[in-house]
Structure 1
């Protein structure tokens, strides 16, 4: 298995990403409070059939913001701007058309990429993610989270909220795995988390995009997911012309960790449609 550690420099950030394997390009985009390591359980299975591109979004993992990025880019951050990270890598590596799959916030970014660059897209995957915009209740929760982060930092927030993203069975039998993910959030600058939260809160509804997108769409859902409810994904899965819905029983929002073998079957089965 060939692994290339790459770096792309811009005036606003240094973008770190890995290219693993050969064949059809497949992007894996992580979510909020995560970095590219969230996909570690998928690497061996997927890189055997395709070329994985796994990035750290700016401000996450090894992708560091420049002083100019902190001053000018971060305050105006949007989900669409984060989608430009995928576009920059596509051009730098000549990877189009690519399969792009995102977890949670990464799914929002994937949808934005599909909206702006449909010609670069071969297929789309929403992994515990939704095309719906935040409703009023969700926006209120995000605003409270922003204020909490300002006063207490991101780690204090994730200590109380992250455990709820896992299904009941996993969180009771794997407390160390949950805690490991929580501890990793200490690395986040509160400014970055606040900017991410605003970006998610202000993103548009993109369910209409699903209706007109000619490329196939994969939905991966967990019945115990409180962040991307199964009922929402079941509704959205009826919209695209070509749609695949995979329901992971007993799973919450973190199927990559909760049931990695099953997740790998769903993702690899979808990828193999385009090889």
Structure 2
């Protein structure tokens, strides 16, 4: 069921589907919307209830005033308000890339609402100085050439070489989505990601299990960086996707689905 929710400076579109507990919240990343999870929805909704928002500025959600800056914490607070609106007191939250940053912010602010959480091609580390400089260059490029031109240039780098060779249409489909984004929204996302703090303490202090899904060819969330974090939670589930870039949900959907399902079943039984 597609629904709408009003929250401060945002009109939020989201999908609520499935009937069985627990509730799984799927949080998409930069340059994506809720449809990035399509390969997971059909599988997971048979046994779980899913809440999948379009973040403000993505898909059918929008900022009421695009000039008002939003932080990663603001997005986490929006999801908390949405859960309260739907009378959902506990959930498992899984975030891809920027969605993982939001998931960590949520875990820091609302730990008692989580039964478990997962980072899918995402990191608890803050941006390095080099990464921040690259984001600033990206913001400048968007200002000069527009958000779609920026996504058209950067999106192919999210996929493994094998996927790009064999699934050019999949890469093209994600690039095509870029036409739907306002440049100002993409710039806001970059500013929010640059300003987020290190969240390794959230992993260290987590009282719930944490899932890590890692791609061996991921240049945005490199495997070596991810592996440095996997020992921090008390209970970690680690799934490494071979010959996979930053988009395991598309590149290896069956493996991702099985990894998520195993994680959720463990959380339910613990």
1:6 maps to what in 2? 3
Aligned equivalents of 1:162, 1:52: Cα separation in 2 = 27
The one of 60, 70, 82 equivalent to 2:66 is: 70
TM-score, structure 1 length as denominator? 0.95
- Answer yes or no: is 1:212 the counterpart of 2:205: yes
Residue 28 (structure 1) aligned with residue 26 (structure 2): yes
Structure 1 segments, 4+ long, off by >2 Å, are none
**CA deviation map 1:194-225 (0-9, x unaligned):** 01000001100001111011111000000000
- 5+ long unaligned stretches in structure 2: none
For 1:161 and 1:10, how far apart are their aligned partners in 2? 31
Which deviates more, 12-21 or 196-205?
Answer: 12-21
Q: Distance in 2 between matches of 1:241 and 1:260?
A: 27
Q: Residues 42-57 of structure 1: matches in 2 within 5 Å?
A: 42-57=40-55
Q: What is the deviation of 1:5?
A: 1.4
Deviations 1:36-60 (A, max 9, x none): 0000000111111110000000010
Q: Is the 8 A contact 1:220 1:248 kept in 2?
A: yes
Structure 1 residue aligned with 2:97: 104
Alignment of 1:83-232 (within 5 A): 83-232=76-225
Query: What residue in structure 2 maps to residue 40 of structure 1?
Result: 38
SS in 1 for 2:266: helix
Q: How many residues align?
A: 267
1:268 aligns with 2:261: yes
Deviation readout 1:109-150 (Å, 9 max, x if unpaired)? 000000000111110100000000000110010000000000
How far apart in 2 are the matches of 1:166 and 1:5? 29
Structure 1, unmatched stretches of 5+, are: none
8 Å Cα contact 1:45/1:268 also seen in 2:
no
8 Å Cα contact 1:49-1:272 kept in structure 2: no
